[in-house]
């Protein structure tokens, strides 16, 4: 893996993460930043309780899945 591939992969994941954060905010779901902020102010248990199952599912399943898929797709194009 050369430097160009690492940079392109990193920027691709960053762009997708920004788009996902915009979409989560648009649809009224919580972002990672807000979730971590809630953990700090309310505690872990309350952060989970005070958010919808859709938001939690998105954060812990869809978000990493899409970021990982982005990285894998970009890396595959270099290979």
Q: How far apart are CA 57 and CA 68, in angstroms?
A: 16
Model confidence pLDDT, tens digit, residues 17-57: 999 999 999 999 999 999 999 999 999 999 999 999 999 99
Please state whether 28 falls in left (phi above 0), alpha (psi between -120 and 50) or beta: left
More confident residue, 39 or 79: 39
**Model confidence at 1, in pLDDT bands (50, 70, 90)?**
confident
Task: Convert the pLDDT of each residue in 51-68 to its tens digit.
Answer: 999 999 999 999 999 999
The residues spanned by each domain of the chain are: 3-78
Residues 6 or more apart in contact with residue 8 via CB below 8 angstroms: 74, 78
- pLDDT score recorded for residue 78: 83
């Amino acid at each position: 893996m050369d430097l160009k591939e690492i940079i392109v992969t990193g920027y691709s994941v960053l762009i997708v993460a920004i788009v996902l954060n915009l979409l989560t905010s648009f649809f009224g779901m919580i972002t990672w930043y807000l979730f971590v902020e809630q953990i700090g102010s309310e505690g872990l248990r309350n952060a989970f309780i005070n958010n919808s199952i859709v938001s939690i599912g998105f954060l812990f399943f869809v978000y990493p899945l899409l970021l990982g898929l982005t990285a894998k797709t970009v890396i595959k194009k270099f290979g």
